[in-house]
Amino acid sequence: MHAAAFIQDLAVIMLVAGMVTILFHRMKQPVVLGYILAGLILGPHTPPFSLVHDNHTIEILAELGIVFLMFSLGLEFSLRKLRAVGATAVVAASVEIIVMVWLGYEIGSHFGWKPMDSIFLGAMLAISSTTIIVKALDELNMKHERFAQMIFGVLIVEDILGIGIIALLSGIAATGHVSTMDAAITISNLTLFMVVALVLGIIFVPKLLEYVASFKRDEMLLITILGLCFGFCLLVMKLDYSIALGAFMIGAIMAESRRIRAIERLIMPIRDMFSAIFFVAIGLMLDPAIIIEHAKPVMVVIVAIIFGKIFACTLGTMAAGNDGRTSLRVGMGLSQIGEFSFIIASLGLTLGVTSSFLYPIAVAASVITTLTTPYLIKAADPLSNKLARNLPGKISQFFRLYRNWLDSNSHAPDSDGAILAGIYRKLLLQVFVNLCMVSALCLGAVWLANDYLVSRPSPMRDIMWQQALIWGTSLLLAAPFLIAAFRKLQSLGLLLADHSTQGMTGSDCSRVQRFIAKTVNVLAIVSMTLLVLTLSHKIMPALDVRVVALLIIAGLVSLLWRWFVMLHYRMQITLIETLTQDKEEH
Amino acid sequence: MHAAAFIQDLAVIMLVAGMVTILFHRMKQPVVLGYILAGLILGPHTPPFSLVHDNHTIEILAELGIVFLMFSLGLEFSLRKLRAVGATAVVAASVEIIVMVWLGYEIGSHFGWKPMDSIFLGAMLAISSTTIIVKALDELNMKHERFAQMIFGVLIVEDILGIGIIALLSGIAATGHVSTMDAAITISNLTLFMVVALVLGIIFVPKLLEYVASFKRDEMLLITILGLCFGFCLLVMKLDYSIALGAFMIGAIMAESRRIRAIERLIMPIRDMFSAIFFVAIGLMLDPAIIIEHAKPVMVVIVAIIFGKIFACTLGTMAAGNDGRTSLRVGMGLSQIGEFSFIIASLGLTLGVTSSFLYPIAVAASVITTLTTPYLIKAADPLSNKLARNLPGKISQFFRLYRNWLDSNSHAPDSDGAILAGIYRKLLLQVFVNLCMVSALCLGAVWLANDYLVSRPSPMRDIMWQQALIWGTSLLLAAPFLIAAFRKLQSLGLLLADHSTQGMTGSDCSRVQRFIAKTVNVLAIVSMTLLVLTLSHKIMPALDVRVVALLIIAGLVSLLWRWFVMLHYRMQITLIETLTQDKEEH
């Protein structure tokens, strides 16, 4: 009768959560706080008694809450949006995260915590809470003001950087220390994985969803969405990344589907149910005694969040060229922590590298800063007026000069140059994406030959030939992307040649042009060969085998050249079509 | 890292379920079969290997699947619909269930199974599958034909009777044997509970949902719905009824809410997710070896389901006055088993009273009869034509006479009589509902005084006075319902007096009228007093205390009489308004 105990737990959780939501809504407080309070009441650390029995299953459901929270965060994200938010968001988010991670680390060190705790504290303070901000702006009726749009932009960039932080933290936790080399490898692996997964995902997933949606059966669409979501999470977990990353990425991929409205409609109730359990579970784990014991760090952390974020975000927004009033409003809107901090805290606990007091501190800080958020947003305007009046002349003059300089800069490039820069950027991006695909194929082949097949019985006795086969196949599969990258580099060379000889005339000009174009071609071939060799050298067959294999591949490639170009072209078309198509309205 | 194992299980389940849904949809087979097959593939009983690790958690989620399946079955049910489906549905469903339970029991006995297995087999065969039928009729494009509407009516009545069967089975499993007395007590307890819960639920729940929905926040509405659903399930479990009953009843209560469309929209994705897990879990538990071992009973059960249901439902539909062709179509549409059978089978396993082979037999029978359903529906028309041609003259003459007799009967009552019968029925229903409330109050008081308070420390030393207080309070609370019941019986008496002296005139008439009315009044008071005394005699105080208590109550009642009448009137108005209001369209 274990299921009965579980149903009882769920009943108690949902009943109390339901009552508390209504209460908190009446008191105009965020519902999230209500959930945490409900968990605290039900939890084992507060009287009268523990009302929840099957903690284990509740924790598993809370884990599902993380999956669905991150998944719907991904659904709201989109590559198009990312491009639209522009420089302000990137600068502000980067400044904020750097300042806050540093601040958190310093606070931890000051209190004599072990380095891993300090690092995790820094990460927890870095990212603001989308849930809380949306709620606060909604209630203040400010969602459509300009500073609110900028805040949403910052939040989107924060989500991406937060995903990076989660991956980095997993890496740091695994090696036990921070090294630049490890971080670089982690980040480049992560980038490679994200590019490949996004490209393949955006090519195939929206097509599949479109196909399933055409049956017009909500149940099938939902089960397919869930299958893709959990399947991708599984893949990500097998690659030793966190499940939060996987859920966010597959959400971002599905965000490019034409059926995004239908997907959101189906996923929203499930997300609400599990995220309620997630927040209640946070309250369940909360031991007030620990918070009282660590009252001093909690206070310091709260002060650091409020003033650190106001300072960092205001500065970052200003640095991107916005006026002081807007910048202050952005800064004061972002000064709190929330669900991302809980996810990072629970990551630390799951990996077993952080102390148990970190979680309650994060929760306490989140609760307090959530409560202050609406007041801070409201206080931004009066404060900026006051500041403007009392600012020393020199400082305000500096800001005026800075803005003038930025303005003059942003208007500087003529439109021809801007178009050219756009073409360069596009070509380089395409080369980068294609080389990512090549790299992934090479690394995949190495993993297949060295880690996977070695451990299984194989009909092919000779490991040598097996490796050669895998190596050859991976090269053959990589060929379309190598060809595409080469062709883009060729275009780049021609463009470069044309561009850099703009002043010249006559035969001199065409000679220089030819020379530049050739050099770029040779450089492209050499560097691409080097890339493939470096990545796949572990499974490269002996010289004689290699020659045979290369000859076969060369023959096949020359035979299939046109087909490869067509295939690649069609994949590219699909990708671009998916990214630019209109979404279905609901 | 237990959560990781669980996420992996869920990923595998959802991924395979997603693929199989698409496949089965392409093959035009019900998705439910696909889920079961997916479970079978993933399960421990089939090669290559078991892909699911955390069976325990999956089973708990499957239990949630039952809750949400029954809840949404309840949402689709409504008291108004029940009244509309009329006599055909009631007669056909009753005949079907009686025949099938008997048939199942006989089959079990024939194979020498223990009585409890045979009883559960009977119950499993009794109820057809809404899911499968809706799917089949949908695909055959016959959903709006008359026989399909009749099938839906039968399914609604089956749901109710099925709920009764589940409650009865729980009772039988607890006592270990079937006795008429026990069954009568179980059924009357169940009826009492259902009437009281429905009345109170319909008075309060839609009002609460309306209030929460007025905030226009889907999340709050969802959490409130889930809180009510699980909270009610918890209450039902505490009363030793099954969770399936609770989920169905709270669904039926919420079906009376004006916001039923919004509720369905929010609950549907959650139901689809968990019911997919539920059906996959059925496949997981399925051991093909057991089915092969019990091949003979499986065959017999399948034959019994198909021919038994066709026979019983056709007969029942005909007995309610429908023509042979429609009846045959109804019968052939209902000849399968599905989710209800699985719920009953898992009830038997949970209670630990049935053998483990019962579940696989039910699943195998369901799979086969699901596959035959669309063919049977399509075969109904040709078969009825063939039967009509080949039927011996005597039998067809009998049917003609029977229909003529039914027709003459149904036109017999003049419209005055019909109106009068309607008024009588309504008054009796009101008396019944009010007396149910009184009974519930008395039984609740007995439970409070005898079972609950006795086991706790109490500030009142004297158990005597405590009991007297509870007894008095319960009587006071019962007073509005007693008053209402008495007033309805008074009206009934006057009506009866008027009706039975229709032929008479003069003083004789009015004397007889007064006599009848008085007799009814006296009978009402005596029987209501007896009811209260019988139900609460266990906590009735000693004579002296009783007299004092009764005097106080009498004083309070006479003081509050008008207020009591008003209160009861307002509750009744709320109830009727809720039942007759228009639902919000979406």
A134 interaction partners in chain B (CB closer than 8 Å): none
Q: Do A19 and B268 touch (CB under 8 A)?
A: no
Burial A24-35 (b: 16+ CB within 10 A, else e): bbeeebbbbbbb
CA gap A383, B85 in Å, rounded: 68
Question: Does A142 touch chain B if contact means CB atoms closer than 8 Å?
Answer: no
Q: What is the mean pLDDT of chain B?
A: 84
Give the other-Cβ count within 10 Å of A111's Cβ.
15
- Residue B241 and residue B232 in contact, taking contact as beta carbons nearer than 8 Å: no
Residue with tokens 């000693």: B542
Residue with tokens 């991924």: B15
CA gap B338, A562 in Å, rounded: 55
Closest residue of chain B to A30, computed from CA coordinates: B220
CA gap B83, B94 in Å, rounded: 16
Query: Please, is A442 exposed, middle or buried when counting C-beta atoms within 10 Å of its C-beta (0-12, 13-18, 19+)?
Result: buried
CATH topology of domain B60-381: Na+/H+ antiporter like fold (1.20.1530)
Handedness of CA A354, A359, A360, A362 (dihedral sign): positive
Sequence ranges of chain A with CATH classification 1.20.1530.20: 60-381
pLDDT at residue A59 greater than cutoff 50: yes
Chain A interface disruption, residue of B2, B223, B239, B346, most A CBs within 10 A: B223
Chain A interface disruption, residue of B10, B72, B139, B456, most A CBs within 10 A: B10
ipTM above 0.85, yes or no: no
Closest residue of chain B to A352, computed from CA coordinates: B1
CA gap A135, A29 in Å, rounded: 9
Q: How many CB pairs under 8 A join A and B?
A: 161
Give the other-Cβ count within 10 Å of B56's Cβ.
13
pLDDT at residue B412 greater than cutoff 60: no
Q: What's the helix, strand, coil split of chain A in %, to 5? A: 85, 0, 15
Q: Among A61-65, A400-404, B161-165, B166-170, name the one with the lowest average pLDDT.
A: A400-404
Q: Among A451-455, B207-211, B256-260, name the one with the lowest average pLDDT.
A: A451-455
* Top-ranked range on mean pLDDT: pick from A84-93, A381-390, B354-363: B354-363
With a CB cutoff of 8 Å and minimum separation 6, the contacts of B160 are B77, B82
pLDDT in tens, A247-284: 988 998 999 898 889 999 999 999 999 989 888 888 88
DSSP state for residue B308 in the 8-state scheme: I
Residue with tokens 């049910």: B77
Q: Do B14 and A220 touch (CB under 8 A)?
A: no
pLDDT in tens, A295-334: 899 999 999 999 999 999 998 988 887 888 888 999 999 9
Chain B interface disruption, residue of A2, A214, A271, A273, most B CBs within 10 A: A273
CA gap A470, A474 in Å, rounded: 6
pLDDT in tens, A358-367: 888 988 898 8
Q: Could you give the C-alpha distances from B207 to A245, B173, B254, B257, B430, in angstroms and in order?
A: 42, 38, 10, 8, 22
Question: Does A227 touch chain B if contact means CB atoms closer than 8 Å?
Answer: yes
Q: What is the mean pLDDT of chain A?
A: 84
Q: Among A401-415, B26-40, B56-70, B388-402, name the one with the lowest average pLDDT.
A: A401-415
- Torsion, Cα A370 A372 A374 A379, to 10 degrees, reads -150
Residues 346-385 on A with a CB inside 8 Å of B are 350
Closest residue of chain A to B35, computed from CA coordinates: A223
Q: Which of A4, A10, A212 sits opposite B22 (nearest CB)?
A: A212
CA gap A357, A353 in Å, rounded: 12
pLDDT in tens, B279-290: 888 888 788 888
Average pLDDT over residues A24-51: 78
Chain A: give the shortest CA distance to residue B576, in Å. 27
pLDDT in tens, B176-204: 766 777 778 878 888 889 889 999 999 89
pLDDT in tens, A220-248: 899 999 999 999 998 888 887 778 888 98
Q: Do B219 and A6 touch (CB under 8 A)?
A: no
Q: Do A223 and B2 touch (CB under 8 A)?
A: no
Chain A: give the shortest CA distance to residue B269, in Å. 6
A15 interaction partners in chain B (CB closer than 8 Å): 227-228, 230-231, 234
CA gap B309, A9 in Å, rounded: 40
DSSP state for residue B504 in the 8-state scheme: -
* Top-ranked range on mean pLDDT: pick from A47-56, A253-262, A401-410: A253-262
Q: Which of B218, B227, B269 sits opposite A270 (nearest CB)?
A: B269
* Count of residues making up chain A: 586
Chain B: give the shortest CA distance to residue A352, in Å. 10
A227 interaction partners in chain B (CB closer than 8 Å): 11, 14-19
Q: Name the nearest CA neighbour of A396 among A404, A8, B252.
A: A404
Burial B74-105 (b: 16+ CB within 10 A, else e): bbbbbeeebeebeebbbbbbbbbbebbbebbb
CA gap A59, A52 in Å, rounded: 11
Chain A: give the shortest CA distance to residue B499, in Å. 52
Which amino acid belongs to residue A380? A
DSSP state for residue B305 in the 8-state scheme: I
| Concatenated DSSP letters of B74-129 | HHH--HHHHHHHHHHHHHHHHHHHHHHHHHHHHHHHHTT--HHHHHHHHHHHH---
With a CB cutoff of 8 Å and minimum separation 6, the contacts of B449 are B466, B467, B470, B471, B538, B539
Tokens linked to B136: 């089949």
- Residue B133 and residue B373 in contact, taking contact as beta carbons nearer than 8 Å: yes
pLDDT at residue A62 greater than cutoff 50: yes
pLDDT at B560: 84
Closest residue of chain B to A242, computed from CA coordinates: B4
Q: Among A6-20, A51-65, A260-274, B30-44, name the one with the lowest average pLDDT.
A: A51-65
A276 interaction partners in chain B (CB closer than 8 Å): 219, 223
- Residue A258 and residue A206 in contact, taking contact as beta carbons nearer than 8 Å: yes
Q: Do A237 and B4 touch (CB under 8 A)?
A: yes
pLDDT at A409: 62
- The pTM (predicted TM-score) of the whole model is 0.83
CA gap B336, B53 in Å, rounded: 33
Residue with tokens 């009585």: B115
Q: Which of B3, B218, B226 sits opposite A63 (nearest CB)?
A: B3
Residues 60-99 on B with a CB inside 8 Å of A are 60, 63-64, 67
A21 interaction partners in chain B (CB closer than 8 Å): 219-220, 223-224
Q: Which of B7, B67, B272 sits opposite A223 (nearest CB)?
A: B272
Q: Which of A6, A25, A269 sits opposite B220 (nearest CB)?
A: A25
CA gap B264, A279 in Å, rounded: 25
Query: Please, is B160 exposed, middle or buried when counting C-beta atoms within 10 Å of its C-beta (0-12, 13-18, 19+)?
Result: middle
- Residue A442 and residue A536 in contact, taking contact as beta carbons nearer than 8 Å: yes
- Residue B376 and residue B324 in contact, taking contact as beta carbons nearer than 8 Å: no
Q: Among A59-73, A322-336, A455-469, A484-498, name the one with the lowest average pLDDT.
A: A455-469
CA gap B360, B184 in Å, rounded: 32
CA gap A124, A337 in Å, rounded: 8
Give the other-Cβ count within 10 Å of B174's Cβ.
12
Phi-psi region of B28 (alpha: psi -120 to 50; beta: other; left: phi over 0): left
Query: Please, is B546 exposed, middle or buried when counting C-beta atoms within 10 Å of its C-beta (0-12, 13-18, 19+)?
Result: middle
Q: Do A56 and B224 touch (CB under 8 A)?
A: no
Q: Which of A14, A231, A270 sits opposite B227 (nearest CB)?
A: A14
Q: Which of A57, A59, A227 sits opposite B60 (nearest CB)?
A: A57
Q: CA B240, B246, B250: angle at the middle one, nearest 5?
A: 150
pLDDT at residue B1 greater than cutoff 50: no
A267 interaction partners in chain B (CB closer than 8 Å): 269
CA gap A129, A44 in Å, rounded: 27
Question: Does A242 touch chain B if contact means CB atoms closer than 8 Å?
Answer: no
Question: Does B475 touch chain A if contact means CB atoms closer than 8 Å?
Answer: no
Question: Does A218 touch chain B if contact means CB atoms closer than 8 Å?
Answer: yes
A12 interaction partners in chain B (CB closer than 8 Å): 234
